[in-house]
Structure 1
Amino acid sequence: MIKRILVPTDFSEQARNAYEIAIAIARKTGAGIKLLHAVELPSGSGFNVTGDMSIQLNSMEGVYMLKLLEKTKADMAHLVDSFDHSGVHVVQQVEVNRPINQIRRTIKEDAVDLVVMGSKGSSGLDEFLIGSNTEKVVRTAECPVLTVKHREPNFEVKEIVLASDFKREIRHAVERFKTFQAMFGARMHLVYVNTPGAFESTSNISGKLEHIAEKYGLQNYTINVYNDVMEEDGILHFAEDIRADLIMMATHGRTGLAHLLSGSIAEDLVNHTNIPVLTFSIR
């Protein structure tokens, strides 16, 4: 069941697209939406993480920060009503904190069932050195995360790609994914990408995928083995071939050095595809 949807926003076009899609999902599920914006202050400022002031209000910094918070709250109020959300309960929250810290805190405190986030995507040096808040949420959130780039006014999902190596225990992820499939009455395409470095026969893999489908009680699905040079490329090419509306993946939630060395196919997909991606961490 999806009852609580969190939409972190930086007021970008992608974040607005995420809010619009969240409204469409809320209408299908009866869920409420929380719009969250976190104002990150420069180090050494006189504000603490709860937004209280401990500096002189007549200082230039104090005046600037008050004006910033007032403008942020006005922008949030404008965003709330920028799309028709009749019948959907929407609340807004502005906090003073690092965005990733506030998102994690809100997920836990509000028992969030789904995060819907916009993603600008990144590549090259920016992707390697920095990573986005969206990637960090994908990697660490304790609930499913839906990432979107483009506007989809009539968000409908008919064809879903479920991509995995199916070698790890993904039961909890599959149960969440089945909820999404049932919500839209969509067809699920299980796909295993066969690469030169880890090649298996099609009959072997097909048998494993059929076993997975039976084990987890899947319905309305297809079994697919797709050959490509790399897993990420294979998932993207397969999704494009079938004109998928959504890609679903379990992520292993690695952090630190392990993440730097291994990377994450799920995070790469979030960066590089225009198709919405639903991820769930199974770490």
Structure 2
Amino acid sequence: MKRILVPTDFSEQALYAFEVAVAIARKTGAAIKLLHVVEMPYAPSFSATGDLVSRDSIEQVYVLKLLESSRDEMQELLRTVEHNGVEVVQEVDVDRVNSKIRRVVREDQVDLVVMGSKGSSGMDEFLIGSNTEKVVRTADCPVLTVKRRQPNFDIKNIVLASDFKREIRTAIDKVKMFQDIFDATLHLVYINTPGAFESSNNIRNTMETAAQRYGLKNYTINVYNDVIEEDGIMHFAQDIDADMIMMPTHGRTGFSHLLSGSIAEDLVNHTSRPVLTFHLR
């Protein structure tokens, strides 16, 4: 791992993400880029009397002030988190957040995005979502989401939830890389639900065959029964006191995403544990 991207909005959760990124960088020797994106409103500007005024001059001043303030906050963030020995560069830009992150991931050949997440629920989750969700859905590299401060960040128990069929092979190298970084135990889990019930014996055989095929080491095989997959993953992680959940995602967008949803994105929203997502493509 050579490059870690930490998008920040200067929230507490973004601070926690930077702390985690520094901990990972210390183990891997990776460099970190801190990125803040100023998003501009696109509505017309009106004077106090309701007349349309020149947007150029007003918006230029507005943007310059935002950029100046953002750079000051970036310096404060750097002073807040001890990062001696870790290379950290910073960038402040005016753009759409998700578009800018995707472009930086591609152009800088980023290996990992670490983002803070506040989570959401109910109608807010359906109508608005979050930038973190969008990055999870579209980023070309693994995304680690962090909600709470992780003091002395050290991963010893990782939950890997999947059906362990052909699709997981496209991400197995990333799974093994993160396990190796922390010398962690990998807990493979299949969530058996009433709507897609299978024999536990058949599932275990499938999981063991996959583990052998992919050369996994230091792992456990687990079949966990629950009503829905998302709850099963969270309950299993709680039962073993997992430090991280790994979850593949298909990265669907648009109407197909609304129809199918995403267990990975639901986990990012609803669990307090760090979640590492990676695309199956």
The TM-score, its normalising length taken from structure 2, stands at 0.94
Say which of 155, 158, 182 aligns to 2:153: 155
Aligned partner of 1:129 in structure 2 is 127
Aligned partner of 1:109 in structure 2 is 107
> How far does residue 167 in structure 1 lie from its aligned partner after superposition?
3.0
Aligned partner of 2:203 in structure 1 is 205
What pairs up with 1:1-283 in 2 under 5 angstroms? Answer: 2-43=1-42, 59-283=57-281
Distance 1:276 1:211 in 2: 28
> How far does residue 81 in structure 1 lie from its aligned partner after superposition?
2.2
> How far does residue 55 in structure 1 lie from its aligned partner after superposition?
6.6
> How far does residue 107 in structure 1 lie from its aligned partner after superposition?
0.3
> How far does residue 60 in structure 1 lie from its aligned partner after superposition?
4.0
Aligned partner of 1:50 in structure 2 is none
Distance 1:179 1:90 in 2: 22
Distance 1:172 1:224 in 2: 21
Aligned partner of 1:49 in structure 2 is none
> How far does residue 165 in structure 1 lie from its aligned partner after superposition?
1.6
Contact 2:165 2:206 in 1 (8 A): no
1:182 maps to a residue whose letter is D
> How far does residue 77 in structure 1 lie from its aligned partner after superposition?
1.4
Distance 1:44 1:268 in 2: 32
Matched position secondary structure for 2:215: coil
Matched position secondary structure for 1:169: helix
2:105 maps to a residue whose letter is I
Matched position secondary structure for 1:36: strand
Distance 1:139 1:91 in 2: 25
Contact 2:162 2:168 in 1 (8 A): no
The C-alpha deviation readout for 1:206-258, integer Å capped at 9, x for no partner, is: 00000010011000000000000000010000000000000001100111111
Percent identity over the alignment? 69
2:77 maps to a residue whose letter is L
1:132 maps to a residue whose letter is S
Aligned length: 273
The C-alpha deviation readout for 1:80-135, integer Å capped at 9, x for no partner, is: 22111000000000010011110001000100000000000000011011111100
Aligned partner of 2:48 in structure 1 is none
1:29 maps to a residue whose letter is T
> How far does residue 44 in structure 1 lie from its aligned partner after superposition?
5.5
Runs of 4+ in 1 over 2 A off after TM superposition: 59-65
> How far does residue 78 in structure 1 lie from its aligned partner after superposition?
1.3
Contact 2:165 2:210 in 1 (8 A): no
Distance 1:76 1:203 in 2: 53
1:97 maps to a residue whose letter is D
Matched position secondary structure for 1:81: helix
Distance 1:67 1:27 in 2: 34
Distance 1:254 1:61 in 2: 35
Runs of 5+ unmatched residues, structure 2: 46-53
Distance 2:9 2:173 in 1: 31
The C-alpha deviation readout for 1:150-199, integer Å capped at 9, x for no partner, is: 01121010110000122342223121011010111100000000001111
> How far does residue 45 in structure 1 lie from its aligned partner after superposition?
7.5
Runs of 5+ unmatched residues, structure 1: 47-53
